[in-house]
Structure 1
């Protein structure tokens, strides 16, 4: 009987540990889908969002990929965070040296922000493009 109780207690504790270390991962999304084409003859702003992230996360990464379709790709991608989903601010507390990435005229390019000890509710990548271009932009996130 004692062995059964010890086994049951160990099982409960093990289950509790494994459920707390589950990672949240997925693709960044826009209001209309996962990826979008950025087209502009002047400055245009687009956003890719994470869903709500619950609880404090030890490590997180958010990545961005831009693939040139046509034109001359130019612009800036900035990581932003929000505690309420309404007010957004540049995320300066990343482990990287910058919260912005300059998009250049390459056929394909990517950038990753690595975050540490974050408890913000939502994140988004703000993409401001300029010039005449079409670029397919996608993103991915992982929180643990």
Structure 2
């Protein structure tokens, strides 16, 4: 009986502990990318989501390098990894000219496989962008 309880406790700890925050990656497989002027950068999941997720928390942070930082960060999804659509239920965030800024989205009942953050700059600027996701199959 003690062995059984030990194994159940061990497995429960593994299941709860295996859900980790993941960095989203640029087209160069880097966790950071630089948006210059009116350019657009995408930060994608390193691997597609498998199955249904109860919740997903996504954050995007940008840090000013130079110029007057401005632009928008939007969340996009895809079923096939090729055709992406803007999540209309989750508004885009507008970047302002500060040293750094973080935006976040909270999704419920995630059934699509691919998620990416789209950051589009405006004006004369340079900013470093990174995004992270924390998806959970169940509420903890």
Q: TM-score, normalised by structure 2?
A: 0.83
The offset of 1:128, in angstroms, is 1.0
Residue 110 (structure 1) aligns with? 102
Q: Is the 8 A contact 1:90 1:99 kept in 2?
A: no
Is 16-25 or 101-110 further displaced after alignment?
Answer: 16-25
Structure 2, unmatched stretches of 5+, are none
Q: 1:64 aligns with which of 60, 63, 78?
A: 60
Q: Which runs of 4+ in 1 moved over 3 A?
A: 7-22
1:47 pairs with 2:42: yes
Q: Aligned-residue CA RMSD in angstroms?
A: 2.3
Q: Distance in 2 between matches of 1:119 and 1:9?
A: 34
Determine the C-alpha separation between the residues in 2 that align with 1:133 and 1:27.
Answer: 24
SS in 1 for 2:120: strand
1:71-110 aligned at under 5 Å gives the runs: 71-93=67-89, 98-110=90-102
| Structure 2 equivalent of residue 26 of structure 1 | 22
User: Cα offset for 1:17?
Assistant: 9.1
Alpha-carbon distance in 2 for matches of 1:85, 1:44: 21
Cα distance, 1:17–1:58 mapped onto 2, change above 3 Å: farther
Q: Which runs of 5+ in 1 are unaligned?
A: none
Query: What is the CA-CA distance between 1:19 and the residue it aligns to?
Result: 3.5
Q: Which has the larger radius of gyration?
A: 1
C-alpha distance in structure 2 between counterparts of 1:14 and 1:99, whole Å: 41
Q: Is the 8 A contact 2:35 2:120 kept in 1?
A: no
Local SS of the residue matching 2:21: strand
Match of 1:122 among 94, 99, 114: 114
